């Protein structure tokens, strides 16, 4: 009689999305689960390339970034990579349907890290006539168009006065000083900062030749112009849209509890309140803290991802998990390649008195808020090291 016991069935963990949060979860989880119960981790993403979303404005301005392949970042981790779009989640069968695959992908634990994209649906003409910074291919097409426009001169409008819009306008104006760049915003750019940091930001935009139009709303984007709510037409040879975000409808369509914006509602340990086998992180998750709701940034996304990897590993070992705790540290804004402003904040992201500007701010931003690729590689070897490359206060799981 064979007395050998059958090998344990691996616990199947599927991570949807290989952006900043999904990649952190997959690589850290692989390290955390090397010992203990058997697991099988699968990372799903529509592109084989790891996209540094926060640097899309640099590509749009004509810069080339490093080409990081997901399979290379996963090398040696044991994580399987599936290229394709997650098109549906069956929460009863615990399966994910992936484009290009006839068979669904089963899971015991699902990590929902699909992030967000620029909302192009609310204003007429945006989807047809404006560029976005959602992916490197679109950003590269915009860079080619800007290069052609720079030869003869022309006008560029950037709609949205948030940090993405500010960074994009500054980057484009610095790279193409002959173009007329206008930043359109409902509020004065930098309004979340302290008065001195905001004043520095506005002076930098003025120095770069960016015209700031605050207190305006865009009613329509045309092929060669932008129409404001009051009927004014602004000539725009190239339009960039950075105003507003939306999350995928995948969770809502699956019957998972979501908020009014479509973000998965989570408990204190970042699990779905309706389906606890699903963990939600990053922009597509509604995460509540004592001071309020976390808003989607890489600064909060990577800590939530590392926490989730640790939490899943602890639960697999039958250990308790403490609630996620997070607080903001800073608001880093690049103003071209040679200037930046850093507004340090309280945990709820309101400004403190401390700030950095100029070269020291550039050095700080590149050191603390630079590419997370080095962190992914480090976490494959040293998962115990809590390193938040985008800033943020957090606690271990």
Tokens representing residue 84 in the block: 């394709």
Same domain assignment for residues 256 and 275 = yes
pLDDT by residue (tens digit) across 315-359?
A: 999 999 999 999 999 999 999 999 999 999 999 999 999 999 999
Q: Do 98 and 205 fall into the same domain? A: no
The last residue of a domain, from among 244, 273, 299: 244
Integer Cα distance of 139 and 131 in angstroms: 8
In this prediction, residues 243-262 reach a mean pLDDT of 96
Give the C-alpha separation, 317 to 36, whole Å: 7
Give me the domain span that covers residue 108.
Answer: 11-46+84-116+247-324
Picking from 273, 304, 324, the residue at the C-terminal end of a domain is: 324
Note the pTM of the prediction, 2 decimals: 0.91
Quote the number of domains for the chain. Answer: 2
Considering the domain architecture, whether residues 236 and 182 belong to the same structural domain is answered as yes
The answer to whether the Cα torsion of 291, 297, 301, 303 is positive or negative is negative
CATH number of the domain to which 138 belongs: 3.50.50.60
Residue 21 pLDDT: 95
User: Does residue 163 sit in the same domain as residue 233?
Assistant: yes
Q: Is residue 378 part of a domain?
A: no
Task: Work out the pLDDT band at 382, boundaries 50, 70, 90.
Answer: low
Contacts 24+ apart (CB under 8 A), 231-238: 234/155, 234/157, 234/182, 234/184, 235/155, 236/155, 236/156, 236/157, 236/182, 237/149, 237/154, 237/155, 237/156, 238/131, 238/142, 238/145, 238/146, 238/149, 238/154, 238/155, 238/156, 238/157
Estimate the share of the chain in helix, then strand, then coil, as percent rounded to the nearest 5.
Answer: 30, 25, 45
């Amino acid at each position: 009689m064979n007395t050998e016991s059958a090998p344990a069935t691996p616990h199947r963990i599927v991570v949807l999305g290989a952006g900043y949060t999904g990649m952190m979860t997959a690589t850290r989880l692989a390290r955390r689960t090397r010992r203990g119960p058997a697991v099988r981790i699968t990372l799903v993403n529509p592109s084989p390339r790891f996209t540094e979303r926060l640097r899309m404005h640099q590509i749009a301005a004509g810069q080339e970034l490093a080409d990081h392949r997901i399979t290379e970042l996963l090398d040696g981790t044991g994580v399987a990579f599936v290229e394709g779009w997650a098109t549906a989640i069956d929460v009863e069968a615990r399966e994910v349907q992936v484009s290009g695959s006839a068979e669904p992908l089963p899971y015991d634990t699902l990590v929902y890290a699909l992030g967000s994209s620029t909302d192009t649906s609310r204003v007429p003409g945006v989807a047809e006539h404006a560029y976005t910074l959602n992916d490197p291919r679109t950003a590269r097409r915009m860079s080619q168009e800007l290069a052609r426009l720079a030869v003869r001169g022309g006008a560029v409008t950037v709609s949205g006065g948030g940090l993405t819009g500010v960074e994009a306008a500054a980057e484009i104006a610095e790279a193409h000083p002959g173009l007329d760049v206008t930043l359109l915003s409902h509020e004065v750019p930098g309004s979340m900062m302290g008065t001195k940091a905001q004043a520095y930001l506005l002076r930098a935009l003025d120095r770069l030749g960016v015209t700031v139009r605050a207190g305006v709303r865009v009613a329509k984007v045309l092929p060669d112009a932008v129409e404001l709510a009051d009927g004014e037409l602004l000539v725009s040879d190239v339009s960039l849209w950075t105003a507003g975000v939306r999350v995928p409808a995948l969770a809502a369509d699956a019957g998972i509890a979501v908020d009014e914006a479509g973000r998965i509602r989570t408990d204190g340990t970042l699990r779905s309140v309706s389906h606890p086998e699903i963990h939600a992180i990053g922009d597509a998750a509604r995460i509540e803290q004592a001071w309020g709701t976390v808003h989607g940034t890489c600064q909060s996304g990577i800590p939530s991802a590392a926490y989730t990897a640790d939490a899943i590993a602890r639960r697999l070992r039958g250990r308790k998990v403490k609630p996620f705790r997070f607080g903001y540290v800073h608001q880093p804004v690049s103003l071209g390649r040679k200037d930046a402003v850093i507004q340090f904040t309280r945990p709820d992201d309101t400004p403190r008195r401390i700030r950095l500007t100029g070269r020291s701010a550039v050095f700080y931003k590149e050191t603390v808020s630079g590419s997370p690729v080095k962190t992914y590689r480090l976490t494959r070897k040293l998962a115990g090291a809590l390193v938040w490359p985008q800033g943020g206060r957090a606690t271990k799981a």
